[in-house]
Amino acid sequence: MLSRYDPPQTFLSYRNEAPVRAQAAAPTPAGLLRTVDRAAQVLLGFTTSRRDWGVTEVAIEFGWDKSVAQRILATLAYRRLLIKDPGTHRYGIGPAAVLLHRLWERSGSLQLLAGDLMEELTSLTGLTSVLAVPDIAHVRCVHAVEGRTGRIRYYPLLGELYPAHAGATSKSYFAFLDAAHRKKLLDGRPMAKFTDHTVTNGTELERQLTAIKSQGYAYTVGEYDAGIATLGVPIMLRHEPIASLSLGGPRAYVPDSPHLLRPLRECRDAFERRVAIPQATTVPS
């Protein structure tokens, strides 16, 4: 068994898994439906910088006939996965896609993808691991594995909301948001004081979030729960934060140390590989 300060010698069998890489203009694999794959390519082609598509753009981007691009876009719009602007005739994300997003967070899929990784992370470090997803001005715990160093709460952590201004679980997500988007979410919101260490000044919070982004992780002590220290990192998808992964426990067991940061990052990296989206063409990030 590792002592609380021993650097881990190994970490999980997935450590050497090959990351998923995009393949330029990769054909649909044998045995799969090409039409369905093409529709998925269009949906996955949306990014923060590509928020709508025109028929001609789709045809050029994916190398299809214009008639094929038109039928795929029209079909996706019929099922409300896309919505067509009657003025510009361009297609954007539709309400059915938003519904899938909401269902995804509550479906158990995240736990399925992260569960074994977090079990071993907790086994290795002895600390409680928490996976949290954004929920407006909070992050919400969707999976947690209790550590042997002591409970963070006396009730289950699942569903716990962590406010943006208190603790590494939330700060490790909000620090990596686009600054303008973060401002829209947080400006004017009250900041409750949970402990003597909770930051309640917006200027100081922004300074801290900038520093966290620069160093790549968050470390806090007693900001949300007195006596509890937390180390957190963002989970990224196409260069955007989608969640956070953190380790927490009694302060004596959670130093701001590379001995803990290394396995936390390795677990995060393995999870990112699992949620990575294969691309059939080069799409701007």
> Does residue 280 lie within any of the structural domains?
no
Domain-embedded: residue 236: yes
- Per the CB < 8 A criterion, the answer to whether 165 and 212 are in contact is no
Beta carbons within 8 Å of 65's beta carbon, 6+ residues apart: 59
Q: Please check whether residue 10 is in contact with residue 264, taking contact to mean a CB–CB distance below 8 angstroms.
A: no
Instruction: List Cβ neighbours of 219 (8 Å cut-off, separation of 6 or more).
Output: 168, 229, 230, 231, 232, 256
**What is the rounded CA–CA span in Å between residue 113 and residue 130?**
14
The answer to whether residue 143 is domain-embedded is yes
User: 220 and 116 in one domain?
Assistant: yes
User: Could you tell me the maximum CA-CA distance found in the chain, to the nearest angstrom?
Assistant: 65
What count of other Cβ atoms lies within 10 Å of the Cβ of residue 237? 12
Per residue in 76-122, pLDDT tens?
Answer: 999 999 999 999 999 999 998 888 877 776 777 788 889 999 999 99
Are 97 and 114 in a shared domain?
Answer: no
Same domain membership, residue 259 and residue 124: yes
**The token pair that represents 41 in the structure block:** 């390519």
- Over residues 172-201, the pLDDT tens digits come to 999 999 999 999 999 989 999 999 999 999
Inter-axis angle of helices 34-44 and 66-78, nearest 10: 80
pLDDT in tens, 112-141: 889 999 999 999 999 999 999 999 999 999
pTM: 0.75
Residues 47 and 186 in one domain: no
Does residue 149 share a domain with residue 55?
Answer: no
Answer yes or no: do 116 and 52 share one domain. no
State the residue range of the domain holding 160.
108-275
Rounded to whole angstroms, the Cα distance separating 182 from 179 reads: 5
Q: Residue 95 domain-assigned?
A: yes
pLDDT at position 280 over 60: no
